[in-house]
Amino acid sequence: MKPRYRYTSLILVALILTVGFVLLCSQTGYGETLQDKLLGTGGGFIPIEGWITTAVDWMAINFRPLFDVVTIIVNVVNDTIITILRFGDWHYSGVFVFNIFGTVVQIPLLAGLVGLLMWYLSGSIVTGSAGLVMLWLAANFGYWPETIETFSLTLTSAFLALVLGIPTGIFAAINDTADTIIRPILDLMQTMPVFVYLIPAVLFFGIGPAPGAVATVIFAYPPAVRLTNLGIRGVPTELIEAGESFGCNNIQLLTKVQLPVARPNIMAGVNQTIMLALSMAVVAGLVGAGGLGGVVVRGIQRMRVGEGFVGGLVVVFVAMILDRATSNIGQSTTEEA
Amino acid sequence: MPSIELEDVYKIFGDEPEIALKLLKEGKGKDKIQAETGQVVGVRGISFTIEDNELFVIMGLSGSGKSTLLRCVNRLVEPTSGKIVLHADGTDYDVVNADSETLRQIRETQMSMVFQNFALFPHRTVIDNVAFGLEIQEVNKKERVRKAKELIEVVGLEGFGDSYPNQLSGGMQQRVGLARGLATGAEILLMDEPFSALDPLIKVQMQDELLDLMEEMQRTILFVTHDLDEALKLGDRITIMEAGKMVQLGNPEQIIVNPKTEYVADFVENADPSDVLRSETVATTSFEPDENNRVRLTESAEVELDSKGRPVQGYFSQTPIEIRSLDELSELNEDVILSTGPDTPISKIMRARLTYATTPVIIVRDGVMIGFVTERNILHGLLEKGREDL
């Protein structure tokens, strides 16, 4: 570190400590010792809990239109995915409206297609058949609608997380200041216990898939940003120079050199995002997002061990299907490259 | 015609280049400036002019600033001060002060670059790699592929067009790099240690092919290397750099024969001079024709000159023999006197002497004999690198 910066940061730390100490002393009330404050026995001296509660309440009222727009976006994406997965079942806000085929046709059709898709993506017929068998089992355990709901909530959240995350990652990769600012925010998003923001999500987005999806997006967004950023920053300098030396402008450099070279990394980010979205989509069952998470939560609440366990098992099936399908996309590009 | 002119180009790495620049001009050394200000001097006060179709070599050890200097020319590295002028298509471009769009156009159409570690795009096939520059020039796909295939053939990679770079060997990858550099039609090719990462045998082969290519295509090449043999073999002119400074500029023979500093002398110490020394440099040039207008070359060999100094007849033990050019010595089963021009490398004379004649080779410029080369001249030339001080 350069001397100048070292001194600046030292001064800054000293300043913060001084202000903190003065604040501490000034807030120490009658009959209360400084020690009480420091040990927290006096109830803390920065009333941050109150601030947050007030802020959340205020936002729930004043940001209503914004939250409504988000709810609509989530519902549209989610409904579309469910409609596709159920071949013509038409849903609105996660509620079944209309169906052109019967469920009897849907199950083998979707299981078969997923099996074929996995076979194609992984190149292994064993993987393909495993996918088919797992979906068939899920249906026969009696959790077909829940499986589809979890699938669609996961894909919806992963889709939104990627749509937001990849551009953020690109921005963080080409702008160092943005990177410095974004990094701690991502840390916060990834390490903050999820239950903490599930509750405000319900306040903001009501019931249905929306609050679950929003919480899931918050949780699944960081890896998309991080791996895109990492991938682009990891592009060898010589390749950037090659691009520049042939007269690329910044956009061409990004689309013709950086993004394609970073593709294996970005694909790993896609895979991570989908897996994290699934784990969170299950937890979102706590706030009534339905799906397999709902099955597990119900099992726990009513002490039905079997139900909870089977719900969990189907979650594992869904996880394996999603992982095998998406991890192979990344792999096939590295081989090709 | 000059192609690129550099004038007093400096590059200083760090956030306060002006201070370092000032100290440099006061005569302080690179290490001292780095210790005092934390600024790293990359390149200092470089001026030279590269002619059209010249292969100009920048040579130096790692850290001498040679790659930095090369990158200043297309501004992959921003020069701190100085002037770089590019003459192309009848226009003079001020490279250092060009705005970003002009600079982009210069890179797109006037200069291309070949890299040490090939820098091929791993996600593109050989054809798409070669066509990259054309894609940036917005040439249509059909034309792009046609041109790319043509160049893939030129560099000898027919049939590999649809391969990916990681399926090719190092030598083949650098051929792709070269084809990519040639494809844009840019007059100027910047080559940054292009053969350094290759096996020795492949390297020599690539050097030969580059020289062949130069014969066919009119290109100006700025070639960076740390390998003296490579520099001597390829360069029309060579500049040697040390600690960011240019210590000598000259053609290969001048570098070998007259190293200007201790540094250059150490460098050329173990170089093989036989391809670099010219016949004129090693020749005995002081001779007196006798009363019969004959010059005695050895005990038994003589050559007769006419009144203007042109060789007319050779003699071996008083028997008249033919004078023949060194280049025509294909069928030779009698004694002749060989003649050659002043610029023939002595390796060629050595080879000819080894196979055919035992007489000295006479050196002729514009028809007039200016000297002759004996075995002693050749040995002296090889051992003393042509230096006269013995």
Contacts of A3 in chain B (CB under 8 A): none
Nearest residue on chain B to A246, judged by CA atoms?
Answer: B108
Is residue A95 less than 8 Å (CB to CB) from chain B?
Answer: no
Nearest residue on chain A to B70, judged by CA atoms?
Answer: A245
Structural domains in chain B, CATH included, are: 2-110+186-271 (3.40.50.300), 279-384 (3.10.580)
- pLDDT for B39 equals 87
The DSSP string of B207-242 is: HHHHHHHHHHS--EEEEEES-HHHHHHH-SEEEEEE
Is A239 in Cβ contact with B190 (below 8 Å)?
Answer: no
Smallest Cβ–Cβ distance between A238 and the set B104, B115, B136 belongs to B115
- pLDDT for A29 equals 59
**What is the pTM assigned to this prediction?**
0.79
Please report where in the chains the tokens 């020690």 appear, as a residue: A35
Rounded to whole angstroms, the Cα distance separating A277 from A215 reads 9
Q: Going residue by residue through chain B (390 aa), what tens digit of pLDDT does each one get? A: 888 999 999 999 988 888 888 888 888 888 888 888 888 889 988 999 999 999 999 999 888 999 999 999 999 999 999 999 999 888 899 999 999 999 999 999 999 999 999 999 999 999 999 999 999 999 999 999 999 999 999 898 989 999 999 999 988 999 999 999 999 989 999 999 999 988 888 999 999 999 998 888 889 999 999 998 899 999 999 999 998 899 999 999 888 888 888 888 888 888 888 888 888 888 888 888 888 888 888 888 888 888 888 888 888 888 888 888 887 766 656 678 888 888 888 888 888 877 766 678 889 988 888 888 888 888 888 887 765 544
Smallest Cβ–Cβ distance between A239 and the set B74, B121, B190 belongs to B121
Is A246 in Cβ contact with B107 (below 8 Å)?
Answer: yes
Contacts of A248 in chain B (CB under 8 A): 104, 136
Contacts of A241 in chain B (CB under 8 A): 71, 76, 113, 115, 119
Contacts of B136 in chain A (CB under 8 A): 246-248, 252, 256
Nearest residue on chain A to B72, judged by CA atoms?
Answer: A245
Is A242 in Cβ contact with B136 (below 8 Å)?
Answer: no
Sign of CA dihedral B210, B214, B216, B218: positive
Is residue A16 less than 8 Å (CB to CB) from chain B?
Answer: no
- pLDDT for B115 equals 93
Rounded to whole angstroms, the Cα distance separating B252 from B242 reads 17
Rounded to whole angstroms, the Cα distance separating A263 from A231 reads 7
- pLDDT for A98 equals 56
Is B136 in Cβ contact with A248 (below 8 Å)?
Answer: yes
Shortest Cα distance from B364 to chain A (angstroms)? 47
Contacts of B117 in chain A (CB under 8 A): 236, 238
What single DSSP character describes residue B278? B
User: For residue A218, which amino acid is it?
Assistant: I
Strand B336-340 and strand B319-325: the pairing is: parallel
Nearest residue on chain A to B131, judged by CA atoms?
Answer: A246
Intervals of chain A under pLDDT 70: 1-5, 24-46, 87-105, 328-337
- pLDDT for B298 equals 82
Reading the block at residue A68, the tokens are 């409504």
Nearest residue on chain A to B134, judged by CA atoms?
Answer: A246
Q: Indicate if ipTM > 0.90.
A: no
User: For residue B50, which amino acid is it?
Assistant: I
Shortest Cα distance from A269 to chain B (angstroms)? 18
Q: What angle do CA B14, B16, B22 make, to 5 degrees?
A: 115
Contacts of A242 in chain B (CB under 8 A): 113, 115, 119-121, 132
* A115, A121, A127, A130: CA torsion to nearest 10: -20
Is residue A4 less than 8 Å (CB to CB) from chain B?
Answer: no
Contacts of B116 in chain A (CB under 8 A): 238
Contacts of B174 in chain A (CB under 8 A): none
Is residue A177 less than 8 Å (CB to CB) from chain B?
Answer: no
Is A245 in Cβ contact with B74 (below 8 Å)?
Answer: yes
Residues 6+ apart with CB under 8 A from B99: none
Nearest residue on chain B to A1, judged by CA atoms?
Answer: B38
Is B136 in Cβ contact with A245 (below 8 Å)?
Answer: no
Is A245 in Cβ contact with B113 (below 8 Å)?
Answer: yes
Rounded to whole angstroms, the Cα distance separating A107 from A101 reads 11
Is residue A234 less than 8 Å (CB to CB) from chain B?
Answer: no
User: For residue B295, which amino acid is it?
Assistant: V
Best residue in A246, A249, A258 to probe B by mutation, most B CBs within 10 Å? Answer: A246
Is residue A332 less than 8 Å (CB to CB) from chain B?
Answer: no
Is B164 in Cβ contact with A336 (below 8 Å)?
Answer: yes
Is residue A244 less than 8 Å (CB to CB) from chain B?
Answer: yes
Is residue A137 less than 8 Å (CB to CB) from chain B?
Answer: no
For residue A92, list its beta bridge partners.
A95
Rounded to whole angstroms, the Cα distance separating B59 from B252 reads 11
For residue B7, list its beta bridge partners.
B83
Is B112 in Cβ contact with A246 (below 8 Å)?
Answer: yes
Is A260 in Cβ contact with B190 (below 8 Å)?
Answer: no
Size of interface A-B (CB pairs under 8 A): 70
Rounded to whole angstroms, the Cα distance separating A10 from A12 reads 5
- pLDDT for B272 equals 81
Question: Does an H or E element contain B92, and which?
Answer: strand B91-94
Nearest residue on chain B to A247, judged by CA atoms?
Answer: B108
Task: Give the residue among B102, B69, B67 at the shortest CA–CA distance from B84.
Answer: B69
Nearest residue on chain B to A332, judged by CA atoms?
Answer: B123
Smallest Cβ–Cβ distance between B164 and the set A241, A252, A337 belongs to A337
What are the residues of chain B with a beta carbon less than 8 Å away from any beta carbon of chain A?
38, 71, 74, 76, 104-109, 111-113, 115-117, 119-124, 132-133, 135-137, 164, 166, 180, 184, 190
Is residue A249 less than 8 Å (CB to CB) from chain B?
Answer: yes
